Amino acid sequence: MSDKSIVIAGDHAGAGLKSELVQHLKDRGFEPLDLGADGSESVDYPDYADKLASAIADGRAERGVLVCGTGIGISIAANRYRHIRAALCHSTTDARLSRQHNDANVLALGARTMGAQTALDCLDVFLDTDFEAGRHARRVGKMS
């Protein structure tokens, strides 16, 4: 697995934003593993959270991005897995702190609750921010 591999998935409500995020990842030199959905036909977001969790568990990627209408449902579905720390982010501050303090390995975004540029900015910050460890490591360890 390349350190540039990242898995991305979302439901029908997130398909348009997901496409923009995939292109942005490619532009940044990442190798996105796109698990769908790719259209507006209604699908169930837990299925896509499951696919992403499996890809991370299998080692096909270390980090991921999930997108649904609000980001809420898909992040709840993903966080059922102990190896997933999905953070629903609405700002670059959320994205930065989710990495620094929580070592989030999945960024969750809401296609209906944020603009595309804000989502791209959150993605960049999420990818560029390291976990601080230190006092946070013990707490994060309890989640995994």
Q: Which of 68, 90, 122, 136 is catalytic?
A: 68
In 3D, which of 4, 5, 20 has the Cα closest to residue 109?
20
Termini Cα distance of the chain: 22
pLDDT tens digits for range 43-90: 999 999 999 999 999 999 999 999 999 999 999 999 999 999 999 999
pLDDT at 106 exceeding the cut of 70:
yes
pLDDT at 91 exceeding the cut of 80:
yes
3-state secondary structure of 132: coil
pLDDT score for 94: 98
- Domains of the chain are 5-143 (3.40.1400.10)
CA distance 119 to 51: 21
Active site residue 136: no
Say how many CA atoms lie within 13 Å of 36 toward its Cβ. 14
Whole-angstrom CA distances from 17 to 50, 67, 83, 94 are 19, 8, 25, 19
Active site residue 101: yes
Q: Which of 12, 83, 90, 101 is catalytic?
A: 101
